[in-house]
A and B are shown apart, each in its own frame.
Chain A
Amino acid sequence: MLRYLLPALIPSWRFFDDVGPSPRVEYCLLADENAEPEWQPFQPQPEHIPLTQLFRRLVWNPARNESLYLLSSCEKILERDSLQAQQVIAGRIALALRSGELPPQARWFRFRLLVVEREGEALVRHEHFVSPAFGLDQSWGPIP
Chain B
Amino acid sequence: MIDLESATRLCEILLGLALAQQSAEHLFMPMSDRRLFALRLLLGLLLAVGLWTTPVLGVLLLTSTWILARCDGPYNGGSDRVAVLMQICLLAVHLCRDLNAPLRWQEVAFGYLAIQIVLSYFMAGWVKIVNPQWRRGQALVDVFAFSAYPQSESLRGWTQWPRLLFVMSWAVMIFELVFPLALLRVDTLIVALVVAALFHTANALLFGLNRFVWVWLASYPALIWLQQQVF
Contact = CB atoms under 8 A, between A and B. Distances in A.
Given A5-B88, A17-B127, A142 B33 contact: yes
A112 B159 CA distance: 27
Interface of A: 1, 4-5, 7-9, 11-19, 22-24, 45-49, 54-55, 57-69, 71-72, 76, 82, 84-85, 88, 91-92, 95-96, 99, 116-118, 123, 140, 142-144
A123 B123 CA distance: 29
Main secondary structure, interface of A, reads mixed
B71 interface: yes
A141 B80 CA distance: 21
Interface centre among B26, B34, B73, B123, by most A CB within 10 Å? B73
B124 A16 contact: yes
B28 interface: yes
Interface of B: 21-22, 25-26, 28-34, 36, 65-78, 80-82, 84-85, 88, 116, 119-120, 122-124, 127-128, 131, 133, 139, 142-143, 145-148, 150-154, 201, 204-205, 208-211, 213
Contacts of A96: 30
A49 to B, nearest CB: 5
A107 B33 CA distance: 25
Contacts of B205: 54-55, 57-58
A17 B204 CA distance: 18
Contacts of A69: 71, 75-76
Nearest to A66: B29
B77 A68 contact: yes
B67 A144 contact: yes
